[in-house]
Amino acid sequence: MIPSSITLLDTIPVNANGKTDHKALPQPQPTTTHTHTHTHQPTTDAEKLIATIWTDVLDHPNPDIHANFFALGGHSLLATRIISRLRTTLTPHIPLALIFDNPTIHTMA
């Protein structure tokens, strides 16, 4: 597995018992492979639907339709949630492999 982000810390926060204080750790920031600021917005109804679901599940506002799901912090459990929402909205016959074979909004649509 490849982590979606890496955060360097000077020290690991610990609680009174000397164990790692997970609540005091900073929230990881997702990284993207895109270095430009222009995002390709969804144009078709299918792209708009998928983009809305990705925004909710990934908590990533306005995902680029050519951005890779896994580069935006997606993983297998989130993929399952996305496919489940697509099955509820469209048809129950959407395979989970769809998101692994087509990891962008554009190719999924």
In-domain check, residue 7: no
In-domain check, residue 4: no
User: Per-residue pLDDT tens for 9-21?
Assistant: 899 999 999 999 9
Domain that holds residue 48: 36-108
In-domain check, residue 102: yes
User: Per-residue pLDDT tens for 36-75?
Assistant: 556 788 889 999 999 999 999 998 888 899 999 998 888 9
Which residue is listed with tokens 């492979």? 33
In-domain check, residue 24: no
In-domain check, residue 86: yes
Among candidate residues 55, 57, 103, the one with its CA nearest the CA of residue 78: 57
Q: Which tokens go with 50?
A: 């998928």
User: Per-residue pLDDT tens for 63-109?
Assistant: 899 999 998 888 999 999 999 999 998 888 999 999 999 999 999 98
CB 29 within 8 A of CB 59: no
In-domain check, residue 11: no
Give 33-42 contacts, CB < 8 A, sequence gap 24+: 33/67, 33/68, 33/71, 34/64, 34/67, 39/63, 39/64, 39/67, 40/64, 40/65, 40/66, 40/106, 41/65, 42/105, 42/109
Which residue is listed with tokens 């935006």? 72
pLDDT of 80: 94
In-domain check, residue 50: yes
Which CATH number characterizes residue 98's domain?
1.10.1200.10
pLDDT of 38: 66
In the chain, the number of structural domains is 1
